[in-house]
Amino acid sequence: MDEIQALINKFVNDRDWDQYHQPEKLAMSISIEAAELLEHYQWGYDGDEQGVKEELADVLIYCFQMCDKIGVRADDIIKMKMKKNEEKYPVEKARGVATKYDKL
């Protein structure tokens, strides 16, 4: 993940774009790119695999930028959240069902 973060930071720094990347702007950008990803599925999958990959990459890039901006590591917060998810969705209750944790 450090290599990816360094690649993104170099791209941004080479263009002097960090000045535009406040956390609230990055949060908006994540949402916008996620909506663009959803467009590929709006009326059923349109088969544009390359478009899906590019929009997903845009979401991930902005997520990495936000992590960097607020001083957290993506792998650390993912591990933290997965531990919490494991507690909320124990295998013996959640396996094979899509029920929200408070209804298990």
84 — pLDDT class (breaks 50, 70, 90): very high
Contacts of 68 (CB under 8 A, 6+ apart): 5, 8, 9
Q: Domains of the chain, with CATH numbers?
A: 1-72 (1.10.287.1080), 73-103 (no CATH)
Tens of pLDDT along 11-65?
A: 999 999 999 999 999 999 999 999 999 999 999 887 899 999 999 999 999 999 9
Look at residue 45 in the predicted model and tell me its pLDDT: 85
Helices (DSSP H) in the chain: which residue ranges?
A: 2-14, 23-39, 49-70, 74-88, 91-94
> Rounded CA gap, 83 and 87, in Å?
6
Look at residue 101 in the predicted model and tell me its pLDDT: 84
> Rounded CA gap, 101 and 88, in Å?
6
Place of tokens 């993104």: 8
Look at residue 102 in the predicted model and tell me its pLDDT: 86
> Rounded CA gap, 55 and 74, in Å?
19
Average confidence (pLDDT) over 79-84: 98
